[in-house]
Chain A
């Protein structure tokens, strides 16, 4: 059965399901609570046996619903794709049910979405950051997060206390793609790799 038939069946079986605009594959939008049941139906009855991708979209702080979680399923037999989406019911504490029980491969994808957007996955066995480090305070792919980043302690507090190292982020002069206007002081703008306070001429301070 094709992906288009699958969307038709989903719409009859789940009352909240509606068609979603798509430039390529058939797509259907579902209420977040129906996601595990709908994906299980697609996997078991329509042979969409592989979870290709799981990600999220932030529609900006002004939008509501703000976050949409997107699933792309692939059938390894009919080679069709289908896109399933779900809006997070809450904008302040976004969360959708986890699908790790259907595909163990969803584990890392959901951790990544949590790491980047701060979207929770109810029922996830081990929901912690994956690309950023534990204890990182921000969600980088949210729209309010600036491209240049926000200064954050670069290691976790226990390491900082033990090593007594205070890490200073490299100067970025406003951001990675912003050229500093006005006077160009390249010496001060560039990160210095070498401590110039001592060299062959000046002895090393004790």
Chain B
């Protein structure tokens, strides 16, 4: 029998990812371990870097909308909306109520879809397979609705500067309402599988605690910030696209651990359903694009084919891009992952001079070196799952 002093106590280095099922994409964690305790963690990001900001400087404003799909590809509709609102702020454009309502509706459906994946993936990371299967079934129903609305399940590219790609198809709003009715019982049933599950609570409670001060200092946003007790939600505090018209509550955590982050997401799904139902029951009529936005939003197709003025306008819009005045604007939207910000520097014309994407996942991951230290390797999985990041957005 050897005494503890004889053991080799050398630290071990462990590289987790970039192809690891719980690093949710291509995050790589370079860790230093003392036994099974993490003593140092260095996240290595950038494996999915595509240079979106460089690309944006080389194309017109509308051409960049499809690239926003590929940021947080779990919630492309919310990204589409955040981007066009930033450009519209620069143009000083106000959207009519129907356009705002459709945007909010799609963004909230995207939030439901994103949080369903976040919860399902966290559950699967800590060993609860079943929840994932239920939430993915519901996401599939949402994807059918997205496909009907935009023509694509994933890469929706639904918004345009000054409006939308098209109006909602007939009967779609009713189908969204029907989805909500059947969805809520299933949601509660699937959450019941883990909320009071002993294994799940043991794996997540007290794990990855982020204090209120740290959350603010590292620039955390979204559910991760609110789980740490900061009631900041840009939908309430800086309302955009008519969010002030809807009633909803902001859940706030008390401990800031992985379990709190799970609870916040669960409650946000319920609140999103509340917002969706308010829109469905009171869906505004009227125009779904800014009618006064000449040189910015494309004219109607039937007019393009019959009227010279509209034909020229359409030609100029396609070749030169929407004409955006010079200026600097920064807009953050409350996306499922946190505050997605766009900083746009325009010198006038159809192409931005500089477009910076403030990616919530990038900021949320920057706290990993702090929060992983002292955790067990198996806890790192629960921390990563509860932070709910997307590398497409982090790496841009």
* A residues neighboring B (CB under 8 Å): 20-25, 27, 49-53, 55, 57-58, 70, 72, 74, 76, 79, 81, 83, 103-105, 107-108, 112, 116, 129-133, 140-141, 145, 147, 149, 176-177
Contact B362 A108 (CB under 8 A): yes
The answer, among B55, B327, B354, for a CB contact under 8 Å with A21, is B327
Tell whether A140 pairs with B327 under 8 Å between CB atoms, given A104-B370, A131-B395: no
Q: How far is the CA of A169 from the CA of B72 in the complex (A)?
A: 27
Contact B217 A131 (CB under 8 A): no
Tell whether A104 pairs with B328 under 8 Å between CB atoms, given A72-B343, A177-B58: no
Q: How far is the CA of A108 from the CA of B358 in the complex (A)?
A: 12
Question: With a CB–CB cut-off of 8 A, which chain A residues contact B331?
Answer: 24
Question: With a CB–CB cut-off of 8 A, which chain A residues contact B90?
Answer: 23
The answer, among A72, A130, A131, for a CB contact under 8 Å with B330, is A72
Question: With a CB–CB cut-off of 8 A, which chain B residues contact A79?
Answer: 232, 234, 237-238
Tell whether A130 pairs with B218 under 8 Å between CB atoms, given A24-B329, A104-B370: no
Tell whether A53 pairs with B341 under 8 Å between CB atoms, given A131-B49, A145-B54: yes
Contact B51 A105 (CB under 8 A): no
* B residues neighboring A (CB under 8 Å): 45-46, 49, 51, 53-55, 58-59, 89-90, 92, 216-220, 230, 232, 234, 237-238, 325, 327-332, 339, 341, 343, 345, 353-354, 356, 358, 362-363, 365-367, 370, 395-396
The answer, among B89, B218, B230, for a CB contact under 8 Å with A76, is B230
Question: With a CB–CB cut-off of 8 A, which chain A residues contact B363?
Answer: 105, 108
Contact B354 A58 (CB under 8 A): yes
Question: With a CB–CB cut-off of 8 A, which chain A residues contact B230?
Answer: 76
Given contacts A27-B328, A83-B330, A108-B362, could you give 18 more A-B pairs where the C-beta distance is less than 8 Å?
A24-B328, A50-B219, A52-B339, A55-B343, A58-B354, A76-B232, A83-B328, A104-B218, A104-B370, A105-B217, A105-B218, A105-B220, A116-B53, A141-B53, A145-B54, A147-B58, A176-B55, A177-B58
Closest A residue, CB atoms, query B365: A108
Contact B219 A70 (CB under 8 A): no
Q: How far is the CA of A58 from the CA of B54 in the complex (A)?
A: 12
Closest A residue, CB atoms, query B220: A105
Prevailing SS type, chain A contact patch: loop
Question: With a CB–CB cut-off of 8 A, which chain B residues contact A107?
Answer: 366
A13 nearest CB across to chain B (Å): 23
Closest B residue, CB atoms, query A57: B354
Tell whether A49 pairs with B330 under 8 Å between CB atoms, given A130-B45, A141-B53: no
A153 nearest CB across to chain B (Å): 16
Subset of 20 A-B contacts with CB under 8 Å: A21-B328, A24-B328, A51-B219, A52-B219, A52-B339, A52-B358, A53-B330, A55-B343, A57-B354, A58-B354, A79-B237, A104-B218, A108-B362, A108-B365, A116-B53, A129-B46, A131-B46, A141-B53, A141-B54, A176-B55
Contact B217 A103 (CB under 8 A): yes
Question: With a CB–CB cut-off of 8 A, which chain B residues contact A24?
Answer: 89, 328-331
The answer, among A22, A131, A133, for a CB contact under 8 Å with B328, is A22
Closest A residue, CB atoms, query B58: A147
Contact B328 A53 (CB under 8 A): no
Contact A52 B370 (CB under 8 A): no
B90 nearest CB across to chain A (Å): 6
A16 nearest CB across to chain B (Å): 20
Tell whether A49 pairs with B216 under 8 Å between CB atoms, given A108-B366, A132-B46: yes
Question: With a CB–CB cut-off of 8 A, which chain A residues contact B218?
Answer: 103-105
Contact A104 B330 (CB under 8 A): no
Question: With a CB–CB cut-off of 8 A, which chain A residues contact B330?
Answer: 24-25, 52-53, 72, 81, 83
Contact A140 B232 (CB under 8 A): no
Q: How far is the CA of A50 from the CA of B367 in the complex (A)?
A: 14
Q: How far is the CA of A21 from the CA of B346 in the complex (A)?
A: 12
Question: With a CB–CB cut-off of 8 A, which chain A residues contact B51?
Answer: 140, 149
B110 nearest CB across to chain A (Å): 22
Contact A53 B54 (CB under 8 A): no
Q: How far is the CA of A177 from the CA of B55 in the complex (A)?
A: 10
Shortest Cβ-Cβ A-B pairs, 8 listed: A23-B327, A105-B219, A131-B46, A105-B218, A79-B237, A108-B366, A53-B358, A55-B356
B396 nearest CB across to chain A (Å): 8
Contact B329 A23 (CB under 8 A): yes
Question: With a CB–CB cut-off of 8 A, which chain B residues contact A52?
Answer: 219, 330, 332, 339, 341, 358
Q: How far is the CA of A199 from the CA of B190 in the complex (A)?
A: 51
Q: How far is the CA of A206 from the CA of B79 in the complex (A)?
A: 52
Question: With a CB–CB cut-off of 8 A, which chain B residues contact A57?
Answer: 345, 353-354
A170 nearest CB across to chain B (Å): 14
Q: How far is the CA of A57 from the CA of B355 in the complex (A)?
A: 9
B241 nearest CB across to chain A (Å): 15
Contact A72 B58 (CB under 8 A): no
Contact A103 B327 (CB under 8 A): no
Q: How far is the CA of A20 from the CA of B331 in the complex (A)?
A: 17
Contact A76 B54 (CB under 8 A): no
Closest A residue, CB atoms, query B234: A79
The answer, among A22, A50, A53, A141, for a CB contact under 8 Å with B216, is A50
User: Which of B219, B366, B396 has the most CB atoms of chain A within a 10 A radius of its CB?
Assistant: B219
Q: How far is the CA of A21 from the CA of B343 in the complex (A)?
A: 14
Q: How far is the CA of A81 from the CA of B331 in the complex (A)?
A: 10
Q: How far is the CA of A62 from the CA of B395 in the complex (A)?
A: 30
Question: With a CB–CB cut-off of 8 A, which chain B residues contact A130?
Answer: 45-46
Q: How far is the CA of A121 from the CA of B220 in the complex (A)?
A: 22
